[in-house]
Structure 1
């Protein structure tokens, strides 16, 4: 090993560049996609919703709302995963009533965000589908 070679050890200090930060963020998202079934399901639903919006020729503002609520759901899922991993790390998978409350609250955030997404989707898609079926 040359003098300038650093041993391969985990990074414990701050990121030194935008690209280093981006790499870690992308790795985190990749981990979540690989390990979080709910996030994969949410991504699939978002893709299907955006495809439906495209085929229904919805206006650009509707697309923006659908993209916004999709990303809010993704963000809620990621925060829920963070909370679950932190609780599991600190409790070492033992049961604590307060740990359960934290996990339940975190899941509640996802539920409320998903409910908001469904409401926005209904406001956008119901009139579009009624128009398509000539029922409006």
Structure 2
């Protein structure tokens, strides 16, 4: 039923987001692909994904997938980078793929990666090291 609803209401972004917030995993799963598909053409939906993730209303992996698929460009990418400052480790982790974006200034990616080397979460520190290595930087003492 949820899959059918996502087809009927594919243009209703608030409805799709509400499905993605549902506590039932099969409902969230049914909403995932329609949201990502609609987000390709909708600045508003991409902003909603950022906002709802920041508020811990959405599963952060949805944001992570959207970043990996290259949905956030230019100033939107900078908004995603702001999530690297989140108090919630899962939100910071979900935002990490933005450090590999081709349209983020190298200096900014480097500065954020260096800052994240001291993150409390081991997975985030490891991802920051990988990002620095991709940039040709070798973290010292790590």
TM-score range, shorter chain: under 0.3
Normalised TM-score (structure 2): 0.26
RCO comparison, higher one (Cα < 8 Å, 6+): 1
Structure with more helix by fraction: 1
TM-score, normalised with respect to structure 1: 0.27
